Amino acid sequence: MDRRMRVAEALLLVVILIYCPVSAFVAGADGPVTFHEALENGNTTFFCDATPDTSDDELMLLVWYKDNESIYSYDARVRSEWSNIAFNVSGRVIADMDKNPTSLTISALREDDQAFYHCRVEFLLSPTRNTGVNFTVTVLPSEPFFLDELGNTVTNKTRPYYEGDTLVLSCLVIGGRPPPKISWYSGETLVDATYSVSDIPNVWQNELYLPLTRDNTETLSCRASNTRLVPALEASLQIELYLPANQVKIQWVQGTLDGALRSGETVTAQCEAYGSHPPPDITWRLNNKRLKKHSNQTWDNSLQAAISFIQITPTMADNQATLTCEAVNPIMPSERNSKADVINLNVTFGPKVEIMKLDDEKRNEVVELDPLHLKCDVKANPPADKYMWYFNDMKIKPGGMWGDDISTNELFIDEVSRRHAGQYACAASNTIGETRADPISIIVLYPPECKKPGITLDKETLNCNVKGLPVPDTYFWHIQQIDHDIQHLTTGSSSLSLDHVAGPLSENLNVSCEAENGIASQYKSCTKIISLGHLRPPQPQQCDLAFEYKEFQIRCIPVENATHYELSLWRLSKTNTSLVLDRKKSVEVGNSLALTQNGDEPWLVRGALGLLNTGDEAGAAACNRYGCSGALLLRPTENLLSAAASPWWKFLTEKDAVICIGVVLLVIMFACSTVLAIRLARRSRKKAQVPVIQVLQLDDVTRDYLNRTGGNFIYPRASVVQSKIEQQ
Ligand SMILES: *[C@@H]1O[C@H](CO)[C@@H](O)[C@H](O)[C@H]1NC(C)=O
Ligand SMILES: *[C@@H]1O[C@H](CO)[C@@H](O)[C@H](O)[C@H]1NC(C)=O
Ligand SMILES: *[C@@H]1O[C@H](CO)[C@@H](O)[C@H](O)[C@H]1NC(C)=O
Ligand SMILES: *[C@@H]1O[C@H](CO)[C@@H](O)[C@H](O)[C@H]1NC(C)=O
Ligand SMILES: *[C@@H]1O[C@H](CO)[C@@H](O)[C@H](O)[C@H]1NC(C)=O
Ligand SMILES: *[C@@H]1O[C@H](CO)[C@@H](O)[C@H](O)[C@H]1NC(C)=O
Ligand SMILES: *[C@@H]1O[C@H](CO)[C@@H](O)[C@H](O)[C@H]1NC(C)=O
Ligand SMILES: *[C@@H]1O[C@H](CO)[C@@H](O)[C@H](O)[C@H]1NC(C)=O
Ligand SMILES: *[C@@H]1O[C@H](CO)[C@@H](O)[C@H](O)[C@H]1NC(C)=O
Ligand SMILES: *[C@@H]1O[C@H](CO)[C@@H](O)[C@H](O)[C@H]1NC(C)=O
C-alpha cells in the first residue's frame, strides 16, 4: 500500500518535472533576489512565500532549486514532499511548509553549498512565483600564527629586542573564503592592514615592520577576518623589548625636617626607577662610594617601577655630598643602559668653631702695643649669623678696651696692652644652635720695667727686681762708690753677688740696674743707694783683759763673719780726764798669733797691749770688708793693775841687800818655780784661768769723744760675761 503510494508520488513528481521544465532563474526578471551568508558547518534557513494572492486561489506545487537542480519539492494537493538525496545528506534538510512563509533549513553546510538557490511556487490560478537567494558559504581561515624573519614560529612572546630595533614579524592564516583580511594591532591601535597572498597557496599573511620604541611595547595582536558573522580570529604576542630605565627619582621619605637633613640624624630616601625592562638593579652611592645597606629592591606593578630604600646618617662632612641612585638594566650591554638621579645633601649642623690668631708667626704671643687680630673660624650650615667673643670666660661687651666692633667673626685690637692678656674664646650660632670654641691664651709680651722695691740686698746679694715678658735674661748693673769710678757688670740672672763688686764696700753703694728680654730695652733703670752697714760683724761681746807674759792682753771670743779685729788702746790724759787714742792695730783672723787655742777652751782672739795704767782702756772691734763693728772697751781692774805692778824684789835690789840676794833669790826662785809648777799643773788640769773682767766706767768726756769717733759702746756686766765664759 505504502509502496504504491510512493510510486504514485514519484510518478507525480515526474509529471511535475516534465510539466515544469523551466528551472533556470533570471534574477530581476523572474523575481526578487536576496543575499544570504552562512558559515561552513553552520546552518541556514531559506524562506519562500507560498501564500496565494487571492483567497480563491490555492497552492499547487513548491520547488527549491540549487542553481538549476531541484533539491526539494512539495505537492500541496497530496501534501507530499521530496528531497534530493544527494543534497539531503544525513537528513540535513528540514522543511516547514506550514509556516508562513515556508522555510527550508539546511544544516552542516559545506563549502559547495554556496550557490544560487531559488524557490518556484505554482498556484491553481495565479502565475508562477520565483524568489532567488544568492547564498554564500563562508569558510573561516585557521587561527593566525606568527613567523619571524627566519621562518621560525613565534608564540606568546617575541625574541628580545632593544629600543630602536625594527620588529619584523609575519602573521599568517591558512584557508578561508572569501580571502580573510589580516591586520596588526598594537594594543587597540591598528598598525598594519596591508595583507597579501603568500607564496604558499591557500595561505594568507601580513608582514609587519614595526620600529620599536618604549611607547609601542603593548601587546601585539594579529586579527584575521572574512565575515561579519563572527568576530575576527585573533592571536597575540608580547613584545620582549629590553629597555633601560628612563626615569629615576630620589625622594626623602622619612627623617627630614622641612626637607633639610640634620647631621647625625638618620634619614630614609626612596628611589623609584621607571621604564626598565626587565627590572633594573638599583645601586646607591654617596660621593661615588657605594652604599651597601639599602633595602631589597621591590617591584611595584601598579607604578611599573622598581623601588629601593636607603637609610643614611649624614655627618657634617657629608654636606653637599652627592647621593646617587642608579638603575642599571642587568641584561643590557653596559653602554647607555643606566639612568641615575643625583641629589646634593644639604646637611645642616650647628657651628663648629675654632679660634685663630691671624697675621703673626707666633701662635699666642703678642708684643705690647702691637695689634692683635683674632678670627673665629666657623663651619656651620646654615651659615652662622651671630658671633660672640669671650675674654677669661666673660662675654666681651663693646666699648672700653675692646672697641665697638665685636660682633663679627674677627676681633681686632689696635694696640694691645697687658690687660689684654688672657683667655679668648668665641662663639657662633645659627638656627641649629650655638657653639663656643676652646679658648686660646694670649700672652702679651712687654719690655722689662722696674718693680717695687727696685733693687734689694739680700744678705750679700743684690737683686734687681724687674718684671717683663718673657722673663729677662740679661741684667746690666752700674755700681758707683764714692770717689771711685763707676763699675759696669752684666749678669744672666737678676742677682749679683757683692763678691763681684770690686773696691771698698764700707761705704754706701749707688746701684742701678736694667734688664733685657729681647722685646725692648728697659725704659727706666732701677736705682738705689744701698747701705752695707748691717753686713759688718757684730760687736765682740765676750772679751777680757789679762796680764800675761808681762803685758796686758785683750782676749775675745771670735764673732761670726769677722775677718779681722781692730784693737785700740786709750790712755788717760795726764792733764785732764780725757781718753786719748794711743794706738790701734789690726789683727787678722787666721793669723796663728791672733787666735790661740787653750786646751778645751774656744779659740780666742788675742792682742797684746803692753802696759796699762789706771784709767787706761783697751778696745776690740770686729771687722770685715764692710767695715768694723763698734769697739768694746775694757778698763783694767785694781787687781789686775796691782798684779802688773813692779815686783817687790825690785825694790830690794835698789836698796842694797846684796847678801840676802842670793838667798832671797833662791827662796823666790823656789817659790816662783813652785807657783809656776802649781799654775802650770792647774792650767793643764783646770779649764781656764779666771779672767779679770772689766766694768767700764766711762766719764762723760770719753763718752763724747767716742761718740764723735763713731765707736759703739757696750757695757758688759761682769757676772754675765763671766758666767758665760765659765760655761764654755
Ligand atoms: C542552526 O544554527 C544555530 C546557531 O548556529 C543553532 O542554534 C541551531 O540549533 C541550528 N539549527 C539546526 C537545525 O541545526
Ligand atoms: C543545468 O546544470 C547542468 C550542470 O551544471 C548543466 O549541464 C545544464 O546544462 C543546466 N541546464 C540548464 C537548463 O540550465
Ligand atoms: C531528508 O531525509 C531525511 C531522512 O533521510 C527525511 O527524514 C527528511 O524528511 C528529508 N527531508 C525532506 C525535506 O524531505
Ligand atoms: C551572486 O552574488 C555574487 C556577488 O555577491 C555575484 O558575483 C553573482 O553573480 C551572483 N549570482 C547570481 C546568480 O546572481
Ligand atoms: C603560551 O601561553 C600559553 C597560555 O598562556 C601557555 O599555555 C603556553 O605554554 C605558552 N607557550 C610558551 C611556548 O610559552
Ligand atoms: C639647607 O637647608 C637649610 C634649612 O632648610 C636652608 O636654610 C639652606 O638654605 C639650605 N642650603 C642649601 C644650600 O640649600
Ligand atoms: C634581602 O635579601 C637577602 C637575600 O635575598 C636577604 O638575606 C635579606 O634578609 C633581605 N633583606 C631585607 C631587608 O629584606
Ligand atoms: C747714682 O748714680 C747715678 C748715675 O749712675 C746718678 O745719676 C745719681 O745721681 C747717683 N745718686 C746718688 C745719690 O749719688
Ligand atoms: C754671717 O754671714 C752669714 C752669711 O753672710 C750670715 O748669714 C750671718 O747672719 C752672718 N752672721 C752675723 C752674726 O751677722
Ligand atoms: C786733754 O789733754 C790732751 C793732751 O793730753 C789734749 O789733747 C786735750 O785737748 C785735752 N782736753 C781737754 C778737754 O782739755
Nearest CA to ligand 10 atom 1: 576
State whether 12 and 106 are in the same domain.
yes
- Does some domain include residue 703? no
Q: Which three cell numbers stand for residue 430?
A: 645659627
Helix, strand or coil, per DSSP, at residue 526: strand
Q: Return d(Cα 671, Cα 101) in angstroms, integer.
A: 213
Of 590, 622, 650, at which residue does a domain stop?
Answer: 650
Q: Could you report how far apart the first and last alpha carbons of the chain are, in Å?
A: 200
CB–CB of 130/25 below 8 Å? yes
Residue type, 334: S
CB–CB of 177/139 below 8 Å? yes
pLDDT at 622 over 60: yes
Does the CB atom of residue 24 touch ligand 2 within 6 A?
Answer: yes
Q: Which three cell numbers stand for residue 549?
A: 807674759
Q: How far apart are the CA of 86 and the centre of ligand 3, in A?
A: 11
- Only one residue has cell 657605594, namely 290
The alpha carbon of residue 230 and the mean position of all alpha carbons in its chain are separated, in whole angstroms, by: 78
pLDDT at 659 over 60: no
State whether 209 and 325 are in the same domain.
no
| pLDDT on residue 418 | 92
Q: Tell me which ligand sits closest to the C-alpha of residue 295.
A: 7
Q: How far apart are the CA of 508 and the centre of ligand 9, in A?
A: 19
Q: How far apart are the CA of 15 and the centre of ligand 6, in A?
A: 111
> In the chain, what percentage of residues exceed pLDDT 70?
83
Q: How far apart are the CA of 578 and the centre of ligand 10, in A?
A: 6
| pLDDT on residue 163 | 86
Ligand 8 binding pocket mutation candidate from 483, 486, 512 (most atoms within 8 A of CB): 512
Helix, strand or coil, per DSSP, at residue 21: coil
State whether 182 and 226 are in the same domain.
yes
Q: Return d(Cα 208, Cα 237) in angstroms, integer.
A: 13
| pLDDT on residue 467 | 92
Question: In sequence order, which residues have a C-beta less than 8 Å from that of residue 6 and are 6 or more positions away?
Answer: none
Of 608, 635, 650, at which residue does a domain stop?
Answer: 650
- What's the pLDDT tens digit per position in 131-166? 999 999 999 999 999 999 999 999 999 999 988 899
Of 111, 138, 165, at which residue does a domain stop?
Answer: 138
The total domain count for the chain is 6
Does the CB atom of residue 107 touch ligand 1 within 6 A?
Answer: yes
| pLDDT on residue 360 | 66
- Only one residue has cell 817659790, namely 671
Reported as a pLDDT band with limits 50, 70 and 90, residue 13 is low
Shortest-distance atom of ligand 8 to CA 512: 5
Question: In sequence order, which residues have a C-beta less than 8 Å from that of residue 460 and are 6 or more positions away?
Answer: 497, 498, 499, 535
CB–CB of 81/71 below 8 Å? no
- What are the DSSP calls for 459-476, one per residue? TTEEEEEEEEESPP-EEE
- What's the pLDDT tens digit per position in 382-440? 999 999 999 999 999 988 888 888 888 999 999 999 999 999 999 999 999 999 999 99
State whether 432 and 512 are in the same domain.
no
| pLDDT on residue 379 | 93
Phi, psi of 329 (to 5 degrees): -75, 115
pLDDT at 664 over 70: no
CA distances from 466 to 448, 470, 501 (A): 6, 11, 21
DSSP classification of residue 150: T
| pLDDT on residue 698 | 44
- Does some domain include residue 227? yes
- What's the pLDDT tens digit per position in 187-220? 899 998 887 777 888 899 999 999 999 888 889 9
State whether 430 and 453 are in the same domain.
no
Q: How far apart are the CA of 297 and the centre of ligand 7, in A?
A: 9
Name which of 271-275, 352-356, 641-645 the model is least confident about.
641-645
Angle at 679 between CA 673 and CA 682, to 5 degrees: 140
Q: Tell me which ligand sits closest to the C-alpha of residue 92.
A: 3
Region 31-40: what's the mean pLDDT? 92
- Only one residue has cell 522543511, namely 95
| pLDDT on residue 98 | 92
Helix, strand or coil, per DSSP, at residue 641: helix
What is the spatial order of strands in the sheet that 233-237 belongs to? 189-192, 181-186, 220-225, 233-237
Reported as a pLDDT band with limits 50, 70 and 90, residue 5 is very low
Reported as a pLDDT band with limits 50, 70 and 90, residue 682 is very low
Does the CB atom of residue 104 touch ligand 3 within 6 A?
Answer: no
- Only one residue has cell 663648629, namely 352
Nearest CA to ligand 1 atom 9: 43
CA atoms within 13 A on the CB side of 67: 7
Region 9-33: what's the mean pLDDT? 62
DSSP classification of residue 297: P
Nearest one of 386, 416, 513, 413 to 462, comparing CA atoms: 513
| pLDDT on residue 6 | 52
Q: Return d(Cα 395, Cα 390) in angstroms, integer.
A: 4
Helix, strand or coil, per DSSP, at residue 664: helix
How many CB atoms within 10 Å of residue 301? 7
CB–CB of 174/142 below 8 Å? yes
State whether 643 and 585 are in the same domain.
yes
State whether 333 and 356 are in the same domain.
no
State whether 149 and 115 are in the same domain.
no
- Does some domain include residue 725? no
CB–CB of 346/381 below 8 Å? yes
- Only one residue has cell 533539491, namely 71
Shortest-distance atom of ligand 7 to CA 296: 1
State whether 369 and 393 are in the same domain.
yes
Q: Which three cell numbers stand for residue 440?
A: 686660646
Question: In sequence order, which residues have a C-beta less than 8 Å from that of residue 709 and are 6 or more positions away?
Answer: none
pLDDT at 711 over 50: no
Reported as a pLDDT band with limits 50, 70 and 90, residue 23 is low
- Does some domain include residue 643? yes
Residue type, 203: V
pLDDT at 700 over 80: no
For the CA atoms of 249, 255, 259, 265, the dihedral, rounded to the nearest 10 degrees, stands at -110
Nearest CA to ligand 4 atom 8: 134
Nearest CA to ligand 1 atom 2: 43
State whether 35 and 70 are in the same domain.
yes
CB–CB of 248/272 below 8 Å? yes
Q: Return d(Cα 255, Cα 122) in angstroms, integer.
A: 97
CB–CB of 425/389 below 8 Å? yes
The answer to whether the Cα torsion of 692, 697, 701, 704 is positive or negative is positive
Q: Where are the beta strands (DSSP E) in 261-420?
A: 261-262, 267-274, 281-286, 289-291, 298-300, 305-312, 322-328, 338-344, 347-357, 365-367, 372-381, 386-391, 394-395, 410-413
Nearest CA to ligand 7 atom 3: 296
State whether 478 and 492 are in the same domain.
yes
pLDDT at 721 over 90: no
Nearest CA to ligand 7 atom 14: 296
Helix, strand or coil, per DSSP, at residue 672: helix
Domain assignment of residue 149, given as a range: 145-242
CATH number at residue 463: 2.60.40.10
- Does some domain include residue 721? no
* Peptide bond preceding 398 in cis form (omega within 30 of 0): no
How many CB atoms within 10 Å of residue 519? 16
- Does some domain include residue 681? no
pLDDT at 717 over 50: no
What H or E segment, with its residue span, contains residue 700?
helix 700-708
Q: Tell me which ligand sits closest to the C-alpha of residue 483.
A: 8
CB–CB of 425/388 below 8 Å? no
- Does some domain include residue 728? no
Reported as a pLDDT band with limits 50, 70 and 90, residue 363 is confident
Mean of all residue pLDDT scores within the chain: 83
Q: Tell me which ligand sits closest to the C-alpha of residue 320.
A: 6
Return the HEC string of 216-267. HCCCEEEEEECCCCCCCEEEEEECCEEECCCEEEEEEEECCECCEEECCCCE
Does the CB atom of residue 252 touch ligand 4 within 6 A?
Answer: no
Region 452-469: what's the mean pLDDT? 92
Shortest-distance atom of ligand 2 to CA 68: 1
How many CB atoms within 10 Å of residue 458? 8
Nearest CA to ligand 5 atom 10: 156
- Does some domain include residue 554? yes
State whether 312 and 393 are in the same domain.
no
